Each structure stands twice: as C-alpha cells, then as structure tokens.
Amino acid sequence: MKRNSEPASSSPRAIDCESSFQKALTQSPKPRELPRPLPYGHVTRLTKFIDIMDSGSLKPNYCRIHGRSLSYLFYGGLLYRVGGAVTRDSREFPIGLLFSPTIASKRDSYYPFDTGAMKGTRYGKRTGSFWAYKKNFRISARHDRYIARLLVHHLFGTNRCYLEGKVSSEARRLPEPVPQLIDFYNKHLGKADHRRAAIEALLERELPLNRELIWVGLPSDQLGRFFDFLDKLDGYVPRFYGYSPKMIFSPDAICCHLEHMAQKEVDRFVDSQNY
C-alpha cells in the first residue's frame, strides 16, 4: 500500500509518548501466562530481496506515513500484500520471510492494525481520523518484549483466535480506547478481511538475516541464488518453500498463497509446548 506523507505539524518526539491505548493495556490486570510467542512475517518483492541477500540484512526504508525509515512486519504471519496489477515482470514476484519470535526485543513499536490500510481507503471512509488512530493506538515496544503477546491476550484471548481474527468478548471491559478499537474491528470495513485485526510491528534498525530467519517463500527459479546466500550463514538453512513462477501472475494472489504456506510454520509455534 502506498505510504502517504504525514502532516508537517507532526512532531517526531510524539512517538516516544505512551498512548492511551498502551496505558489501557499495561494498567490492566496481567495474566499468569501469556499466549506463546509467534513469528514475525515480512513480505517484499524479488528485486528488493536480492538487495537484502546482497547486504545480509533487512534494512529500513523511508516511510512517508510515519516520517522515518522503517521495516514493516506483521506478528503471526505473512499478512502484507505487495499490490500491483497482473504482470509479466519477474522483479515483482513476492518473497515471504518469517523471523523467529526472538526478534521481539528488536521491535520499536506496534499498532493493532495495518497503518497503510488505515491511511488509505481499504477500511472504508468511516473509520474516523487516521491521525487520531495513529496517535492513540501506537504502542512503544522499546522496553517490553512481551507486548505483542499481551496484545493477543487482551484483544483476542488466544493465538488461534488472533490468527482467525476473532475478537475476545472480554476486550470491551478494558478502559478506553480499547472499546473504540473493538468497534473498529467489528464494523463493516470496506475491502478488509481477517487481516483488519493484524498486529503491525515497526522496526527502525537493521535486521540481520541469520538464524532468526526461520522460513522463506520464493520463486523456485531463485533457489540457486538463495542457496548461494545460505553459504554465508555457516551451514544454517532455514525452512523454505519454492513456488512455481508463472509467465503472467498476480502479485497479491501469490501473497495469499505464501500466507497459506507460511501458516504451517506459524502453527508449529501455536501448537508448541516447548518454546
């Protein structure tokens, strides 16, 4: 989704303030046990993935919505769509990356929705002011590596409900603005699907491609280049899936397929008893 410019009046320092949403979550009673940590997903295009392999890390790019350089990931799977029309351009082939839950300590902030979709019209035109949502629902993650799991607990109850987009009936009992968010989740939201309730994670630092990279989905004709890159990882080989590239393809249709295939890897964490 296209990231549009933020008003010049926005202050960069505002991002360090604790939002009313974060206060509502952190001041609510904490459970004895949080849902198990899930992987983080990032989707990009082949042309960018080649640069990522060459540099050995996922590097932030300037985002016009947030006014600074960021990498976008989603908690719990490959929930992003690269967009674009049906094409023959092989550079547009989507690539899916899953990173270990251990990168939680490297997150800078979270939002309980896709900020790109919110800024655009995918959630409809009646969701209210994007800038109000952006200010009120940002969660700083700099000092709390458990915050994504806390979000899942308070808003969905379990990992499985989160992944299915089923909001907990208990969430409305939390202080405002949580009930406002639940209304947003539950209303008819234009072209939105189960991803309307996805947890977006923003990263301002480089993310090395090392043993925390646990799964990769890419065109099968790029596996040779990928294996050459793996030679730099001292014998470590993440799980991978090679899809059959078509001459003419829809990038978003491939993104949906990668989300489905990556879900099998995510389910290993949902069902794990040993993590």
pLDDT digits (tens, 9 = 90+) for 44-96: 999 999 999 999 999 999 998 888 999 999 999 999 999 889 999 999 999 99
- With respect to residue 227, please indicate whether it lies within any of the assigned structural domains: yes
**Over pLDDT 70: what percentage of the chain?**
85
CA distance 173 to 267: 29
Q: Comparing 211-220, 229-238, 245-254, which segment has the lowest mean pLDDT?
A: 229-238
pTM (2 d.p.): 0.88
d(CA 181, CA 202): 19
pLDDT at 126: 54
Residue 25 lies in a domain: no
pLDDT at residue number 31: 87
- Is the pLDDT reported for residue 273 higher than 60? no
Higher pLDDT: 29 or 255? It is 255
- Whether residue 102 is contained in a domain is answered as yes
Task: Judge contact between 218 and 226, C-beta under 8 A.
Answer: yes
Check residue 46 and give its pLDDT: 97
Q: Is the pLDDT of residue 16 over 60?
A: no
Residue (of 246, 201, 188) closest to 75 by Cα position: 201
What pLDDT does 47 receive? 96
Q: What is the DSSP string of 97-119?
A: EEE-GGGGGG--EEESS-HHHHH
Task: Please report whether residue 82 resides in a domain.
Answer: yes
pLDDT the model gives residue 28 = 87
Is residue 20 a part of any domain in this protein?
no
The answer to whether position 41 is within a domain reads yes
Q: Please report the beta strands in 100-147, taking only residues with DSSP state E, as ranges in sequence order.
A: 109-111, 139-140
Specify the pLDDT at position 192.
61
pLDDT of 275 reads 46
For residue 46, is it within any domain? yes
Q: Give the pLDDT band of residue 11 (cuts 50, 70, 90).
A: very low
Give the residue numbers spanning the domain of 243: 35-269
In a domain, 115, yes or no: yes
- Find how far residue 246's CA is from the centre of its chain: 27
Reply yes or no on whether the pLDDT at 190 is more than 80: no
Tokens of 92: 């547009």
Residues 156-181 have a mean pLDDT of: 92
Whether the predicted pLDDT of 13 surpasses 50: no
Domain total in the chain: 1
How much is the pLDDT for 2? Answer: 39
